[in-house]
Amino acid sequence: MSDAAIDTDAPDEAVVARSYLRAGHSLRSWLLTTDHKRIAILYLISITFFFMIGAGAAALIRLDLLTPQGDLLTNEGYNRAFSVHGIVMVWFFLIPSIPNVFGNFLIPLMIGARDMAFPRLNLLSWYIYMGSGLILLCVVFGGGVDTGWTFYTPLSSVYANGAVVAAIVAVFVSGFSSILTGLNFIVTIHKLRAPGMTWGRLPLFIWSHYATSVIFVLATPVLAITLLLVAAERLLGIGVFDPDLGGDPLLFQHLFWFYSHPAVYIMILPALGVVSELITAAAHKRIFGYWFVAYASIAIAVIGFFVWGHHMFVSGQSLYASAIFSLLSIAVAVPSAIKVYNWTATLYKGDIAIDAPLLFALSFIGLFVAGGLTGLMLAMLAIDVHVHDTYFVVAHFHYIMVGGSVTAFFGALHFWWPKITGRLYSEPLARIAAVIILVGFNVTFFPLFLMGYEGMPRRYHIYPPEFQLLQVIASGGAALLAVGYAMPLFYLGWSLVRGRRAPANPWGATGLEWTTSSPPPKHNFTRQPVVERGPYAYPLAHPASRDDG
């Protein structure tokens, strides 16, 4: 990695003036931009908005669960709250979060390109996402939907009240945003790498996003057609999933989970890529076992297509199918474990700076491992029979999605904040936030494992009174977690106005994005980068730091 191509360690006026943030100030220049960096910021604003909607629903849920009778909401209201929470968080926050914000911003920079392969398609993806979001808002404020984010038939297709079809349309449309994003990423990574940037020199963030994009393109259409059939059943009374007409409700489950299991890998693979970057940058050392980690991402994506039946062990599916899905679900854990071991080995003999991004990365590893191991428990047939559809499962996937993906999102936000905005944030406040998030998260979700094993089913508005103590603890943890999530809004926002200006490479990290100014110019690099060294080629010739400039 040539770090002599551009010398922008000291931000000079000319470079700052050309920054992408200053290339046009009108609303039009933002809403009609084709600059991948500006599109990333548009996505950042939108997903933050949807995160707040999903978090609002979560707040209602946790408040309501303070008492066993659920005095805040009615049964119907509670059912709508958790359905909206799931739909918003899965499709309108988690799936776009890291790929559409950090993938969009960083992929061209990391490979040494000026933009994505299809810049206008990139903008179209955002508009499609916003359109689907608008439909979803109509659903939320028009009374909501009460089928759960999983839309099981025949409840969703025949029996449910609420805006089921509208919710389906919102999710259906959002899928196209995903497909186009994945398409853009794949072509960009194949065709726009800078001279010398061979596959073996790509940052692991790129490998993760490549694997994610394959899932985007191949799995999302199956969701689209499945939801289309549910809507048709609801509107036209056709009977593909309706047993009264000889249809098969299990067929829906197979089709739905064929997409939705790979979808959870869409939600975690980018996070795994982020953590590889955070660990190597903090340790100032090359990743241990680069090729193992790179291929592990591909393995997770491929094997992930063949495990969907583990959501259906008690559904009535064939026993042989269950046994096979169980075995494959254990296999898919192996590449994830490889990553965790390799990150640990990377820290060995490193030169470790303990800043907020590393704290987020270490939190991620702890919480992701807990989530992953409980996932292994769920893959065991006899155990799953007991804890399926209980709080145990809810705890498992929140450990991965929130403890994992959201933590990694915050890690990425802090790590690349200086590059994206050109400002430095308050390190002490960030470290405090990271710790509050870690503690708050565990207090919220660990009790759910206990409740689940005790037999507390999920999606219960009214619950047996013996669980109240643990529910209250969980709600208390949620309040703390909310504080932890709210803090960055303030100190990151503050840094935009009053933060110190960031040098090109405040962390002393490798990666082409750190060789250009903070923030980058509109076309990313003043000169075409030429790559001569491998990835993570520490030590750097001129290791810059936060205190430069």
Partner 1 sequence: MMAGAPLWPQQASQHARSVDLLIASFGAMVWLLTIPVFVLMAWFAIRYRRGRTVNREHSPQSNVWIEASWSLIPFVLTLFFYVWATKLFLDIQSPPPEAVPVNVIAKQWMWKFEHQSGAREINELHVPAGRPIRLVMTSQDVIHSLYVPALRIKQDVVPGRYTSLWFTADRPGRYPLRCAEFCGTDHSVMGGALIVMRPSDFSAWLAQHQDGGADATLAARGERLFRKVGCSGCHAARSAVHAPSLDDLYGKPVPLSDGTTRIADEQYLHDAIMLPNKEVAAGYRPIMPSYGNLLDASEVGALVAYMKDREGEDSE
Partner 2 sequence: MAEHATEPFHAVERQREANRFGMLIFLSSEFLLFGGIFAAAMALRLENPDGYRAAASHLRLGLGTANTAILLTSSLFAALAVEAVRGARPRRTALWLGGAALLGAGFLGIKGAEYAMEYREGLMPGTATAHFSGPAEQIFMNLYFAGTGLHALHVTIGIAVLLVAAALAHKGGERHAMLVGNAALYWHLVDIVWIFLYPTLYLAGVG
Hey, which residues between 39 and 98 contact partner 1 (CB under 8 A)? 75-76, 79
540 touches partner 1 by CB under 8 A = no
* Residue 349 interacts with, from partner 1, partner 2, none (CB under 5-8 Å by kind): partner 1
DSSP lists the bridge partners of residue 145 as 162
* One of 221, 350, 366, 549 touching partner 2 (CB under 8 A): 221
CB of 456 to partner 1, least distance (A): 8
> CB of 431 within 8 A of CB of 462?
no
Q: DSSP for 150-167, please give it.
A: TT-TTIIIII--BSHHHH
Q: Please, what is the minimum distance in Å from the beta carbon of residue 373 to partner 1? A: 5
Interface residue with partner 1, options 72, 183, 251, 352 (CB under 8 A): 352
Tokens representing residue 221 in the block = 């259409």
Per-position x/- string for 374-393, each x denoting binding to partner 1 as judged by CB under 8 A, each - no binding: --xx-xxxxx-xx-xxx---
User: Which residue lies nearer to partner 1 by CB, 222 or 338?
Assistant: 338
The 472-491 contact track toward partner 1, x by CB under 8 A, reads x-------------------
Q: What are phi and psi of 116, to 5 degrees?
A: -70, 165
Residue 321 touches partner 1, criterion: CB under 8 A: no
What 16-21 contacts at long range (C-beta under 8 Å, 24+ apart), as own/partner pairs, is: 16/422, 16/501, 16/517, 18/521, 18/522, 19/422, 19/517, 19/519, 19/520, 19/521, 19/522, 20/519, 20/520, 20/521, 20/522, 21/421, 21/422, 21/519
Q: How far apart are CA 2 and CA 534, in angstroms?
A: 9
**Which CB sits closer to partner 2, 246 or 428?**
246
User: Which amino acid, one-letter code, is at 239?
Assistant: G
- 17 makes contact with partner 1 (CB under 8 A): no
The site map against partner 1 for 439-468 (x = CB under 8 A) is -----------xx-xxx-xxxxxxxxxxxx
**Could you give phi then psi for residue 521, rounded to 5 degrees?**
-70, 170
Which residues are CB-contacts of 240 (< 8 A; sequence separation ≥ 6)? 229, 232, 233, 247, 248, 251
Binding residues among 271-310 for partner 1 as defined by CB under 8 A: 283-286, 288-292
For residues 314 and 142, the answer to whether their CB atoms sit within 8 Å is: no
For residues 241 and 248, give the distance between their C-alpha atoms in angstroms, rounded to a whole number.
Answer: 5
Q: What is the DSSP letter of 243?
A: G
Looking at residues 19 to 78 of the shown chain, list those that interact with partner 2 (rule: CB under 8 A): 34
Smallest separation (angstroms) from partner 2 to the CB of 179:
5
| Neighbouring-strand partners of residue 162 | 145
- Count other C-beta atoms under 10 Å from residue 464's C-beta: 13
Q: Which of 59, 338, 429, 435 binds partner 1 (CB under 8 A)?
A: 338
How far is residue 232's CA from residue 225's CA, in Å, rounded to a whole number?
10
**Cβ pair 239, 245 in contact under 8 A:** yes
User: Least CB distance from residue 192 to partner 2, whole Å?
Assistant: 7
> Per CB under 8 A, does 148 bind partner 1?
yes
Q: Select the residue interacting with partner 1 from 29, 48, 198, 344 (CB under 8 A).
A: 344
Residue that the structure tokens 């390190």 belong to: 427
Q: Report the alpha-carbon distance of residue 31 to residue 305 in Å, rounded.
A: 36
Q: Does 117 bind partner 2 (CB under 8 A)?
A: yes
Question: What is the footprint of partner 2 within residues 165-204 (CB under 8 A)?
Answer: 179, 182-184, 186-187, 190-192
We find the least distance from the C-beta atom of residue 111 to partner 2, in angstroms, to be 11
User: Considering CB distances under 5 to 8 angstroms, the limit depending on partner class, which of partner 1, partner 2, none binds residue 191?
Assistant: partner 2
13 residue type, one letter: E
* Region binding partner 2 by CB under 8 A among candidate stretches 154-162, 203-211, 225-233, 461-469: 225-233
Q: Quick one: what does residue 64 bind among partner 2, partner 1, none, with the CB cut-off 5 to 8 Å set by partner type?
A: none
Helix axes 164-191, 104-111, angle to 10 degrees: 10
**Residue 100 or 322 having the CB closest to partner 1:** 322
Using CB under 8 A as the binding rule, whether residue 7 contacts partner 1 is answered as: no
For position 537 contacting partner 1 by CB under 8 A, the verdict is: no
Q: What is the DSSP letter of 535?
A: T
Place of tokens 């750190």: 514
Note the residues at the interface with partner 2 (CB under 8 A): 34, 108, 113-119, 179, 182-184, 186-187, 190-192, 217-222, 224-226, 228-229, 232, 235-240, 245-248, 251, 254-255, 258, 523, 528
